[in-house]
């Protein structure tokens, strides 16, 4: 690969001492070496900082850079905003603190991007058990040759929401998201980053049909307890809030924006109704 461009990887972290070591191990041992890893610690109260700092010399010996940034707890959107400002690479990626890359992920994604002249790409992910790391399934795109990636992503026709499977050309990102500023929600960062990228018609998209990410799945994530349902309803409201804010900030065709607004409202009303009634007895449901 010509020029050996720098790739920045942004990680937002909050109380991730159980998982962050595996993530950093795999980043430190990537087959591609010109990497800077930027970790924004969003006010962790566990041993995350100690573990992260213990990797600084490991990265240095391998010719890579590990940059640790601490901020008071303000949510993942705020932490990502902070991390975006630190990016020095010609290309960048982002990954959740509890997941981890395949050892050749950065090399595979970068080579695919450079060879194809892409502005952004998406790879595939392996779902693994949170604890024993055994494979549960593989996540690949249902529409690998899609042209209108925005509609597929936005209208939930495909699952494009995992951090870690994307790589973006930094100068394209800077054109689409001015000042590297995203909506600072506590619920996530993917929609804020991806929707403006997908909507921009000048960007060239590529689909890499290779597994690049190991995505941890929590075994009890399907719990139907009242407490879990309340948590999911609050998460649903937060997701709706993100989408409405991101749509509001985007330069879109008026009718397209109205279509998107209506879809969001209807989708999340249905989602919360389904959650609220999922553990009700028949009489309570009818009421």
Segment 165-208, tens digit of pLDDT: 999 999 999 999 999 999 999 888 999 999 999 999 999 999 99
Q: CA-CA distance, 10 to 59, in Å (whole number)?
A: 15
Instruction: Decide if pLDDT at 246 tops 90.
Output: yes
- Whether this model's pTM surpasses 0.85: yes
The pLDDT of residue 221: 44
Closest CA to 16 of 100, 110, 75, 97: 97
Q: For 37-72, how does the pLDDT look when each residue is reduced to its tens digit (9 = 90+)?
A: 999 999 999 999 999 999 999 999 998 999 999 999
Q: Given pLDDT bands bounded at 50, 70 and 90, which one contains residue 285?
A: confident
- pLDDT band for 148, please (50, 70, 90 cuts): confident
Asked whether the predicted pLDDT for residue 226 surpasses 70, the reply is no
Distance between CA atoms of 147 and 141, rounded to whole angstroms?
13
Q: Is the pLDDT score of 124 beyond 50?
A: yes
What is the DSSP secondary-structure string of 28-62? HT-S---EEEEEEEES--SSHHHHHHTTHHHHHHT
- Distance (Å, whole) CA 238 – CA 219: 23
What is the reported pLDDT for 222? Answer: 38
| Predicted pLDDT of residue 182 | 96
Q: Are 186 and 238 in contact (CB under 8 A)?
A: yes
Please say if the pLDDT value at position 82 is more than 60. yes
* Average pLDDT of span 89-106: 97
Greater model confidence, 91 or 232: 91
pLDDT at 218: 74
Q: What pLDDT is stored for residue 278 in this prediction?
A: 81
**Can you give the pLDDT at residue 247?**
96
Residue 184 DSSP symbol: -
Give CA 11 to chain center in angstroms. 9
Which CATH fold would you assign to the domain 7-217? Spore Coat Polysaccharide Biosynthesis Protein SpsA; Chain A (3.90.550)
- What is the token pair recorded at 172? 């394209």
User: CA 263 to CA 258: how far, in whole Å?
Assistant: 9
What is the pLDDT at residue 161?
65
In this prediction, residue 219 carries a pLDDT of 60
Report the mean per-residue pLDDT for the chain.
Answer: 92
pLDDT band at 2 (very low <50, low <70, confident <90, very high): low
Least confident of 43-47, 160-164, 208-212, 248-252: 160-164
Q: What is the pLDDT of residue 157?
A: 81
pLDDT for the residue numbered 177? 95
Distance CA 177, CA 192 (A): 9
Reply yes or no on whether the pLDDT at 223 is more than 60: no
Phi, psi (degrees; rounded to nearest 5) at 142: -80, -15
Instruction: Report domain extents, the chain.
Output: 7-217, 226-286
pLDDT of residue 187: 86
């Amino acid at each position: 690969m010509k020029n050996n461009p720098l790739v920045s990887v942004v990680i937002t972290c909050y109380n991730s001492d159980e998982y962050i070591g595996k993530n950093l191990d795999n980043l430190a041992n990537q087959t591609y070496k010109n990497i800077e890893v930027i970790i924004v610690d969003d006010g962790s109260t566990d041993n995350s900082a100690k573990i992260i700092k213990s990797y600084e010399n490991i990265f240095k010996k391998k010719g890579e850079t590990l940059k640790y940034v601490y901020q008071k707890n303000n949510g993942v959107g705020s932490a990502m905003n902070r991390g975006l400002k630190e990016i020095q690479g010609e290309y960048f990626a982002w990954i959740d603190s509890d997941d981890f890359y395949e050892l050749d992920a950065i090399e595979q994604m970068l080579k695919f991007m450079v060879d194809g002249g892409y502005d952004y790409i998406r790879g595939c992910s392996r779902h693994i058990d949170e604890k024993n790391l055994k494979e549960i399934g593989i996540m690949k795109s249902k529409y690998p040759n899609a042209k209108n990636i925005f509609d597929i992503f936005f209208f939930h026709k495909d699952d494009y929401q995992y951090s870690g499977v994307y790589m973006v050309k930094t100068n394209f990102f800077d054109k689409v998201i001015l000042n590297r500023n995203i909506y600072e929600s506590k619920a996530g960062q993917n929609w804020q980053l991806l929707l403006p990228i997908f909507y921009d018609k000048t960007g060239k998209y590529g689909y890499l049909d290779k597994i690049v990410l190991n995505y941890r799945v929590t075994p009890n994530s399907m719990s139907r307890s009242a407490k879990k349902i309340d948590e999911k309803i609050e998460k649903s409201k937060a997701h709706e809030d993100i989408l409405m804010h991101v749509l509001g900030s985007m330069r879109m065709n008026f009718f397209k924006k109205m279509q998107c607004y209506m879809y969001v409202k209807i989708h999340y009303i249905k989602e919360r109704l389904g959650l609220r009634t999922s553990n009700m007895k028949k009489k309570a449901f009818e009421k």
